[in-house]
Amino acid sequence: MLSQSKIGLEKESLRAAETGGISQMPHPRSLGSALTNPYITTDFSEAMTEMITPPCNSVEQALEFLNDLQVFVYSHLREEILWATSMPCVVESGDSIPIAQYGKSNAGLMKTVYRRGLGYRYGRTMQVIAGVHFNYSFSDDFWALYQAVENDRQPSRQFISQSYMGLIRNMLRYGWLIPYLFGASPAVCKSFLHGKPTMLSTFNENTVYEPYATSLRMGDIGYTNNKESMAGIKANYDSLDAYIQSLRCAIETPFDEYEKIGVKVDGEYRQLNSNILQIENEYYSTVRPKQAPDDNEKPTNALEQRGIDYVEIRSIDVNAFDPLGINEEQLRFLEIFVVFCLLQESPVLSADEVNEIDMNLVQVAHMGREPGIRLSRDDHSVALKLWAGELLGAMQGTAQLLDQAHASSAYSKSLASQIECVLDPDRTTSARMLAEMREHHEGFFHFARRMSMQHYRHFNSMQLSSERENQFRRAAEESIALQQQIEANDVIDFDEYLRRYFAQ
């Protein structure tokens, strides 16, 4: 049953000029419409390409599809490279980062205004940090069997959503493992800070870092919901209903700081509203329950109507050492991690445990490789090495189960590699990055540009099969036609469109 699970990947990559600054060129039209192409879109910035695989039957299939997408994207770039790291290239100023554009339709304008709001609220520079998202769903056959094993009599949709919420709570509890093992942002270009004072150490004249950092992207200088926590809003993971209600509360609660920005100023929307969250996606979490919305359906409504369809893990840095930004060994471990988190007991999170989760994540992000580092578990101090060793040891049964499901030893091998990284932190991606920067006498920018150019040569040496080329070309052409159709079908103004959207 586990061999029937589906895996999907989403990879963000900044388009950079060959000199290293953020590209000022629009999203290439030959890649289709960013609004409607299912495979290639943009994230916050017009320069931030996002490549999306469909749900795939295996790790290999997902990686092959992502590889082909990157080959296709590269074949349509002119004098640009895809930046190889999570932390961005040279950022002259926030104003130099172009916000993504999605055409003239109300749906397209809403996406642009939402991003404009993010820029006003958190600054544009923060929004061009890239990541890889790992999407995972169990099959219907698996759920039927699992529910029978658990001797659970509730309707299957409720059982599935309840089980996914338990899985998510455990992923939050143990989520610090991902930046420890796969963090790949221990350093950042000084231009990212725009001259602001920092507690980070100086690596060289153009780079700041933390000596034992794993993922500054996941730390205090990267993604945080500090403004939401200032306003007293935290997502509630006790149940799917509690989660939905907590996000709806944040979307409907005004926040003074955002009211000062203004919503519609001199005829232009600065943000969708002045509430704690403009929409659900603004709430940053390392893992999300997901259900694909229909048309312009709100994500919380989709979850309420149809339950959880899959989980999305969002804490993975782009791996600079791999042209794809992620590799098979990482994906095998992430699958072990997801299944393990489902099969463990998962009590609801207390307020104290939520604080521990946040503290552990920041601690590992900034100093996860420090000798003797300790984390907080059940209100007690515990050595990271001990806790990680216990967790990875407990995952061996899950790895063997997945090996059997796939008639392979790849899962146990991946787990063994992660155990090595706990025993020897110098094997982690973040440590290897800093070691390579020292060896080549280069700062973050020069390391990242060197890797980007390597990947550029790698993808430009590859050729797609005619079948895949036609698939992507057709998707691009159909997406442009669909965008034009959406624009032609608009019959109400944007004010009314927003009113109806939020009144759902």
Give the pLDDT confidence of 230-277 residue by residue, as tens digits.
Answer: 566 789 999 999 999 999 999 999 999 999 999 999 999 999 999 999
Residue 93: which CATH number? 3.30.590.20
Angstrom distance (rounded) from CA 323 to CA 459 = 8
Angstrom distance (rounded) from CA 450 to CA 461 = 17
> Please, what is the angle between helix 410-423 and helix 328-343, to 10°?
90
Q: Where do the DSSP E strands lie in 354-448?
A: 374-377, 380-383
Please indicate, yes or no, if residue 409 is contained in any of the structural domains: yes
What's the maximum distance between 2 C-alpha atoms anywhere in the chain?
63
Q: Could you report the per-residue pLDDT of 413-453, keeping only the tens digit for each?
A: 999 999 999 999 999 999 999 999 999 999 999 999 999 99
Q: Could you report the per-residue pLDDT of 136-161, keeping only the tens digit for each?
A: 999 999 999 999 999 999 999 999 99
Please indicate, yes or no, if residue 268 is contained in any of the structural domains: no
Q: Which of 294, 187, 283, 296 is nearest to 234 (CA)?
A: 283
The angle formed by the CA atoms of residues 12, 16 and 17, to the nearest 5 degrees, is 165
465: how many CB neighbours lie within 10 A of its CB? 9
Please indicate, yes or no, if residue 277 is contained in any of the structural domains: no
Q: What's the Cα-to-Cα distance from 363 to each of 255, 317, 360, rounded to whole Å?
A: 29, 16, 5
Amino acid 179: pLDDT = 98
- C-beta separation of 376 from 364 below 8 A: no
- C-beta separation of 274 from 259 below 8 A: yes
Q: Which of 215, 207, 209 is nearest to 444 (CA)?
A: 207
- C-beta separation of 312 from 7 below 8 A: no
Q: Which residue range is the domain that position 149 belongs to?
A: 2-224+284-493
Please indicate, yes or no, if residue 434 is contained in any of the structural domains: yes
Please indicate, yes or no, if residue 501 is contained in any of the structural domains: no
Q: What is the mean pLDDT of residues 114-119?
A: 97
Angstrom distance (rounded) from CA 450 to CA 97 = 22
**Strand partners for 204:** 207
Please indicate, yes or no, if residue 250 is contained in any of the structural domains: no
Whole-number mean pLDDT of the chain?
A: 95
Angstrom distance (rounded) from CA 447 to CA 184 = 12
Residue type, 313: I
Position 225 confidence tier, pLDDT thresholds 50, 70, 90: very low
Rg (C-alpha) for the chain, rounded Å, is 22
Please indicate, yes or no, if residue 261 is contained in any of the structural domains: no
Q: Could you report the per-residue pLDDT of 24-74, keeping only the tens digit for each?
A: 999 999 999 999 999 999 999 999 999 999 999 999 999 999 999 999 999
Residue type, 367: M
Angstrom distance (rounded) from CA 112 to CA 116 = 6
Amino acid 232: pLDDT = 62
Please indicate, yes or no, if residue 197 is contained in any of the structural domains: yes
Amino acid 220: pLDDT = 82
Does pLDDT of 183 surpass 90? yes
- C-beta separation of 7 from 331 below 8 A: yes
Position 19 confidence tier, pLDDT thresholds 50, 70, 90: confident
> Is residue 490 helix, strand or coil?
coil
Q: What is the mean pLDDT of residues 464-479?
A: 98
Got the DSSP string for 245-259? Answer: HHHHHHHHSB-HHHH
Tell me the pairing of strands 132-137 and 310-316. Answer: antiparallel
Q: What is the mean pLDDT of residues 390-412?
A: 97
Got the DSSP string for 275-326? Answer: BS-SSGGGS--SEEEE-PPPTT--HHHHHHHH---EEEEEEEPP-TTSTTSS
- DSSP letter at 264 equals E
Amino acid 230: pLDDT = 58
197: how many CB neighbours lie within 10 A of its CB? 6
Angstrom distance (rounded) from CA 289 to CA 298 = 14
User: Total structural domains in the chain?
Assistant: 1
Percent of the chain with pLDDT over 90: 92
